[in-house]
Amino acid sequence: MGALVNTLSLRWPRSYDWPTTNRNLAAICLVVTSACAILEQFVSSEWLSGVAGLTLLLFVLLQWHGITRTYRIFAILAPSLTVGLWLSGRIDHTVVAAGVDRATFFTLFLTSLAVLRESAQSSSLVQRCGKVLVNQPPARRYMLMTFGSHLFGVMLNIGALNVLGTMVRRATRQTPDPEASRIAGIRRKRMLTATLRGFCGVPLWAPTSVTMLLVLSSIPELDWEHYAPLGLVWTLLFILWGGILDWFSYPRPKPDATPGGGLKQLIPLVGLVALIPSLAFAISRITGLSLFPTLLMCAPVIGLAWIWLQFRGRPTRIKSGLFVRRLTRSFPRTFTQQRNEVVLFTSSGIIGVILIPLIDPVAVSQLLIAANITDATLMVGMSLTMLICSFVGINAIITVTLMLGALQQIPDMAISPLVQASVIAITWAVFAGASPFTASLRFISNFSGTPPLHFGVVWNGWFSVSVLAIMYLTLYLVL
C-alpha cells in the first residue's frame, strides 16, 4: 500500500496539490476582477460588473479558510445587506452595480500595488538605500531616515517598516557598556520615530496610499492631479515639523566625520517613485483617461519591468525562465496573502455605496443649520470622529467611506473638495502614528521593544497633538 501511495505521489505533480491549486485559482480570480476594472475605464457594461462580482465571490469562497473571523463578518455583511436592501426596494440594480464597480476598483488598487510591492521587496536597490540611511551621521540622520522611509512607503507600503526597522535594530544592538547602551537606545528611538513619521506622511499625497483611493473614490469632482500639489506641500510641512521637534527634543550632536554612505545611491529610488505618476500623467493625457486609474494600470507594468531588470546580466533564455517562475510561484502567494485586505476593502466599498441612497440630504442639511454647525466645526468633527474610531479599533476605511459619502449628499456644500481631502489625509497621517490599532504602529513598535500605545502616545504623542492643533486652528481661520 505504501509503495502504491509513493508511486501515485510521483505520478501526480505538485501542482495538483489542492492548497497550491486553491491559491492559483484565487490569484486568477483577482487578476480577472482587476481586468474587469481596467475594461470599465474604456467601456460601460453591466456584464463586466457581473463577471467581477462573481470572481470576487469565488475568491472569498476559495480563501475562506484563511480569512480571520472579523473579516468574515464583513464578507457576510456586505452581500447580505445588499440583497436585503435590493429585495425590499430600498435600492435598485444600478446602485448594486455601482457598489460592485467600487469593490472591483478597490481590488485593482490592491492587486496593482501588490505587484509593485513584490518587485520592490526583492530589489537590491532597496537594501542598499536602507543601509545608506541607517549609517548616516547623527546631524542629518533623522531627516534622511524620514525622507527615505517616505520613499520606501510609497513603493513598499507596510513593508518599508520591516526593511528599515530591521536595519535600525541591527545598527543599535545592546552592548555591555551602560553608557553605550543608553546612547544606542536614544539613537534607536529617534531613528524609529523618524521612520514612522516618514511612513505616516505617505497618505498625505501618494497615489499608492489607501487614503487617496478612498478620498478620490468618494469625492467624484476631485482629481489626483489637482490635489497632489497641495498634498506634497502638506507632506513637506509634516516632515519638516517632525524634524524641528526632534531638533529641539535632543541635544545637538557633535559633528561626526564618519562617512554614512553616498546619498547618490538614493537617486534611482527617487526616480522610480517619480516614474509612476509621470508615466501615468503622460498616458492619461494621450488617452483621455482619468489619472488615478491610469496610475493603477502603470504600477504593475513598472513592477514587472523592475523584476525583469533584477535578472540583468544573465542570458535571455535563463532570464525568461526565472521571470516566469517568479510570476507563477511568488505572485499567487502575494495576491492571496492579502485576502483580509481584499475582503475589508471590497466590503467597505459596497457598503459605502449602498447606504448613501438611504441618507436624506435635506434632513441632514436642516440638522446642521439648526445646530449652527459651521464648516470648520464640521471638518473638525469629522477629524475627531476618525481619531476616536481609530482608538477604539474601528477601521478608518469604513469611517471615511461613510462620512465622505454622506458629506457629498448635502446640497449646496460650500466646503472645497481640496479642504475635505486635506482634512482626511492629515488626520489619517496622524492616527496612523498614534493609534495602537493601526498596523503601522504595531509593526514599528516590535523593533522598539515598547508597546504600541507607549510608542504612539509617549514617543510620538506630542508630534501628533501639535499637528492636529495646527490643522484645527487653520480650519477656523480659513473657513
Q: Which of 341, 358, 375 is the last residue of a domain?
A: 358
Query: Does residue 399 fall inside a structural domain?
Result: yes
- Percentage of the chain modeled with pLDDT above 90: 61
Query: Does residue 341 fall inside a structural domain?
Result: yes
pLDDT of the residue at 1? 42
Average pLDDT, the chain: 88
334, 418: one domain: no
Query: Does residue 12 fall inside a structural domain?
Result: no
Mean of pLDDT values over 392-403: 89
pLDDT of the residue at 157? 87
Query: Does residue 168 fall inside a structural domain?
Result: no
Query: Does residue 137 fall inside a structural domain?
Result: no
406, 283: one domain: no
pLDDT of the residue at 215? 95
Q: Per-residue pLDDT tens for 291-338?
A: 999 999 999 999 999 999 999 888 989 999 999 999 999 999 999 999
209, 340: one domain: no
Q: Per-residue pLDDT tens for 410-445?
A: 877 889 999 999 999 999 999 999 999 998 998 899
Mean of pLDDT values over 259-268: 75
Say which amino acid occupies 135: N
395, 285: one domain: no
Q: Which of 202-216, 363-377, 402-416 ranks highest by mean pLDDT?
A: 202-216
Burial (Cβ within 10 Å: 0-12, 13-18, ≥19) of residue 120: buried
Query: Does residue 2 fall inside a structural domain?
Result: no
Burial (Cβ within 10 Å: 0-12, 13-18, ≥19) of residue 235: buried
Label residue 16 by pLDDT band (50, 70, 90): low
Residue 463, Cβ neighbours under 10 Å: how many? 23
Mean of pLDDT values over 169-174: 77
405, 458: one domain: yes
329, 385: one domain: no
Query: Does residue 353 fall inside a structural domain?
Result: yes
Helix axes 18-39, 46-62, angle to 10 degrees: 160
Mean of pLDDT values over 176-181: 75
Label residue 155 by pLDDT band (50, 70, 90): confident
Residue 338's domain comprises 17-122+264-358
Residue 261, Cβ neighbours under 10 Å: how many? 16
pLDDT of the residue at 22? 92
350, 366: one domain: no
Q: How far apart are CA 191 and CA 169, in angstroms?
A: 10
Residues 351/395, Cβ–Cβ less than 8 Å: no
Least confident of 19-23, 271-275, 356-360, 453-457: 356-360
Query: Does residue 183 fall inside a structural domain?
Result: no
299, 373: one domain: no
286, 419: one domain: no
Q: Which of 333, 358, 383 is the last residue of a domain?
A: 358
If one counts the domains in the chain, the total is: 2
338, 375: one domain: no
Least confident of 125-129, 220-224, 293-297: 125-129
340, 364: one domain: no
397, 475: one domain: yes
Burial (Cβ within 10 Å: 0-12, 13-18, ≥19) of residue 113: buried
Q: Check pLDDT > 60 for residue 255.
A: no
| Selection from 436, 467, 127 nearest residue 269 by Cα | 127
Q: Per-residue pLDDT tens for 85-109?
A: 999 999 999 999 999 999 999 999 9
User: At a CB cut-off of 8 Å and minimum separation 6, what does 302 contact?
Assistant: 116, 272, 275, 276, 279
| Selection from 12, 57, 263 nearest residue 140 by Cα | 263
Q: Which of 339, 358, 377 is the last residue of a domain?
A: 358
Label residue 135 by pLDDT band (50, 70, 90): confident
